[in-house]
Structure 1
Amino acid sequence: MTTITLQHAAPAPARTRTLLALVAAASPLWAAVSLAQAFTRDGYDLTRHPLSVLSTGSLGWLQIANFLVCGLLTAAGAIGLRRALHGAPGGTWAPRLVAAYGLGMVAAGVFVMDPADGFPVGTPAGAPTTMSWHALLHLASGSIAFIALAAACFVLARRFARAGDRTRAVLSRFAGTAVALGNLWAMSGSPAASLALAVGVITGMLWISAVAARLRATAL
């Protein structure tokens, strides 16, 4: 049933497969680069600092580039999703939401967070007393991206459910719920909020990449 769910009547053009490959690669790349920095940069603590704060400091350019590359790959790859899902339930909104998520990541790379809570090393402990305009825009961009990401997962869940693919429908709902709960936890200010946000968002991101990779594989 899985093959029927994702297979096209005819092989997809090479350009569509290339675009799907961009989406498939974007999230694992972002997660790998972010987590590598999280475990190696002095003063960073994933239970206290969001991954976005890695955009600050002398090596901040690396995380900025990570946001930009991931966002651009995702936004461009959403065109491949639209082509691959054309005519199917969710074939309109899922690609649009993935594109919005990608563009939100680009904006999050352009507008950088402020140093906070001891990171980079030398920054005073605790949250900043004031926030810069670019930090506010970063938070807005991130919120838009994560809302779009969660929504895309739920739209895909509906698509899979209608196609009779219960396993992927459940996985899509799980991914969307993980993103939503991670965001709610982060907004609550509860302990380890940044860790919960990272786990939730990366779960959703990787699921979108997995769906794109499956679409590409069945389109060959």
Structure 2
Amino acid sequence: MTAHSALPPVATPTVSDLSPTRTLIAAGLLPGPLFILVAAAQILTRDGFDLRHHPLSALSLGDAGWVQIANFVIVGALSAAFAVGVRRGLRGGPAGTWGPVLLGGYGIGLIAAGLFVTDGAYGFPAGAPAGLPATFSWHAMVHGAAATLAFLSLTAACGVFARRFVTQRRPVWAAASLATGVAVPVLAAWPGTGAASIRLAVATLLAWAWLTALAAQLRADQRTAG
């Protein structure tokens, strides 16, 4: 036996491993951690920002607002890419029609929420009114509509995938999807302004946690299916 033949074989990716479908589904693993890390870094470093009073959308304002704008757009594009992968991977099966549509709506909503910024309020950024603005700008209204589209799309997607998991006899996944689909809109739409930004942040965290876990599970399913 020669020294060369004693070397272990080098594993190389197969065409299947590098397929567009698997690559697009894997894209769903990225936006959640990226959005949370970038937002957290800004929460800790942006002067005057206080999560107890200011929603994460307010990070799009001010001189450094481009960071959060880019954050919204990039994670939205990655979420839309994930939706395309889900369409390709689940076509003809449970959640194969409405799942990708709703995930795509979530991505598009995030992109629009980044491109159309909200208005300053509660003293952030510097020069903003001490409370809510007397009137809202057109781009703030578009931002609100886009954020609503994103939350509603993701909530509906939770229901669609819960049904898929029931069909597959995965009760834990079905329950987690239903719980997320209920918790996200309840937290986002809870009446009253007290701690509203905190509730929105928690709803956002839950939404990203579910989407990331879903991407991981669908990616594992694709690998198992070969």
TM over 0.5: yes
Further displaced range: 39-48 or 162-171: 39-48
Asked if residue 95 in structure 1 is aligned to residue 100 in structure 2, the reply is yes
Q: Of residues 62, 73, 78 in structure 2, which corresponds to 1:68? A: 73
Distance (whole Å) between structure 1 residues aligned to residue 58 and residue 175 of structure 2: 32
CA RMSD of aligned residues (A): 1.4
Structure 2 counterpart of 1:49: 54
Q: Which runs of 5 or more structure 1 residues have no equivalent in the other structure?
A: 1-10
Q: Of residues 125, 134, 140 in structure 1, which corresponds to 2:139? A: 134
Aligned pairs for 1:103-142 within 5 A: 103-142=108-147
Structure 1 counterpart of 2:184: 179
| Contact in 2 for aligned 1:182/1:201 (Cα 8 Å) | no
User: How far apart are residue 90 of structure 1 and its match?
Assistant: 1.4
| Contact in 1 for aligned 2:25/2:81 (Cα 8 Å) | no
Between the two proteins, the alignment pairs up a number of residues equal to: 208
- Structure with larger RCO (C-alpha < 8 A, sep 6+): 1
User: How far apart are residue 218 of structure 1 and its match?
Assistant: 3.1
Distance (whole Å) between structure 2 residues aligned to residue 189 and residue 38 of structure 1: 23
Structure 2 counterpart of 1:195: 198
Distance (whole Å) between structure 2 residues aligned to residue 208 and residue 87 of structure 1: 21
User: How far apart are residue 39 of structure 1 and its match?
Assistant: 2.4
Write the deviation string for residues 30-66 of structure 1: whole angstroms up to 9, x where unpaired: 1211122122211111121110010000110000000
Q: Which runs of 5 or more structure 2 residues have no equivalent in the other structure?
A: 1-15
Structure 2 counterpart of 1:85: 90
Question: Which residue identity is paired with 2:95?
Answer: G
Distance (whole Å) between structure 2 residues aligned to residue 65 and residue 26 of structure 1: 12
Asked if residue 145 in structure 1 is aligned to residue 153 in structure 2, the reply is no
Distance (whole Å) between structure 2 residues aligned to residue 67 and residue 211 of structure 1: 20
Distance (whole Å) between structure 1 residues aligned to residue 84 and residue 129 of structure 2: 44
Question: Which residue identity is paired with 1:121?
Answer: A
Structure 2 counterpart of 1:6: none
* TM-score (norm: length of structure 2): 0.87
Larger Rg: 2
Identity score, percent: 49
Structure 2 residue matching 1:39: 3-state secondary structure:
helix
